[in-house]
A and B are shown apart, each in its own frame.
Chain A
Amino acid sequence: MLNVTMIELTAYALQVLLIILAIAIVVHRNNGTIIILITSFSLVTASLYIINKAPDVAIAEVAIGSAIIPLIYVISISRQREFIVLDKAMDDFIISDNQFTGVGYILLKRFTDLYHLELNITNDARLCSLGAGRDQLLCEQTNVDLIITKDEETNTYILKGKKSSVLLQKLDSMAKDYDNIEVVQFKDRDFGD
């Protein structure tokens, strides 16, 4: 008799804990903390499945909720904070004197710090070898947010990005102070083509 009441007491305690965790997930603002909370949420639900006499379901919940679900949340949340720049110009715009002290780098760093993003600059050879006519396609098909090219005649740097992105408009207003930087926004096409 004592055994049964102990299990029932544990079930009530776990359900109250579940409600507290659910409220914490809904109220909390930091997405990184929520991942830890949702992992513990799935562990508590798995123990409740066992108390409800369903070991099969508990095995499935533990196997999926402990490894695969947190992984995909972590990846999609870290993607949310990233600003990918493709540097086609390859001169002292980004790197001068072997350090990140170029004019463009300072501008981009200031911009990403303002909006709590992480700057990620790439100069992959295969992407850079594509012609200038395919820049719009490149922006739409890959996750590159900004492309840097250089106009040799007028000696201005051209930053290209999608017009639909909110970040590009903010960058445009920020780059007005610089004379040799021009921001070009590609026209919208339907999303998902």
Chain B
Amino acid sequence: MDPILTFVVILIGFYGLSTSTNIIKSVFCVTIIESGVILLFLNLGNLDGGTIPIVGEGVTMIADPLPQALMITTIVIGSTVTALALMLCIKVFHHYGTVEWAEILRREEGK
């Protein structure tokens, strides 16, 4: 049941991405999808009876450390990619005077 609730978060992000009219709203939705994917990976790696992946005396079972190692880099990279998208968004606003997808596409076609 746990991974399915997480997948619902990803699907909400997809719904927002396909219906959003505003560029910044799309970036928000990408952030939601990213958090959902990270949560899904960690959910799968969290095995029954495991503890946090730090070994010491008396530790018999741990959570899978590989997805966690991948997800740390995902968070750092994801934040920089969000920053890149927002910087492009600022430039688009000062060029077109708007951040609505429909308006920008209309101007590009009317050229």
Chain A residues packing against B (C-beta within 8 Å) = 11-12, 15-16, 18-19, 22-23, 25-26, 31, 34, 38, 41-42, 45, 48-49, 52-57, 60-61, 64-65, 68-69, 72-73, 76-77, 79-80, 143, 145, 162, 164-168, 188, 191
Contacts and interface: CB of A to CB of B under 8 A. Distances in A.
B16 A53 contact: no
A30 B62 CA distance: 43
7 contacts: A34-B25, A52-B42, A52-B45, A54-B52, A76-B24, A143-B90, A165-B94
Interface of B: 2, 5-6, 8-9, 12-13, 15-16, 19-20, 22, 24-25, 28-29, 31-32, 35-36, 38-39, 42-43, 45-46, 50-53, 62-63, 68, 71-72, 75-76, 79, 82-83, 86-87, 89-90, 93-99, 103, 107, 111
Contacts of A76: 24, 86-87, 89-90
A64 B9 contact: no
B47 to A, nearest CB: 9
B3 to A, nearest CB: 10
Nearest to A188: B111
Given A53-B50, A69-B82, A191-B95, A64 B28 contact: no
Contacts of B75: 57, 60-61, 64
Contact of B39 (A16, A45, A166): A45
Q: Is the interface of B mostly helix, strand, loop or mixed?
A: helix
Specify the main secondary structure of chain A where it touches its partner: helix
A68 B20 CA distance: 24
A166 B98 contact: yes
B68 A56 contact: yes
A162 B79 contact: no
A143 B63 CA distance: 50
Contact of B16 (A26, A165, A166, A168): A26
Given A26-B12, A34-B28, 10 more contacts: A15-B2, A22-B12, A22-B36, A26-B19, A31-B24, A53-B50, A57-B71, A143-B94, A164-B107, A165-B94
Nearest to B6: A15
Contacts of A16: 5
Nearest to B111: A188
Contacts of B16: 25-26
Given A60-B75, A168-B97, A45 B24 contact: no
B60 to A, nearest CB: 14
Contacts of B20: 26
Contacts of B15: 26
A131 B82 CA distance: 37
Contacts of A23: 12
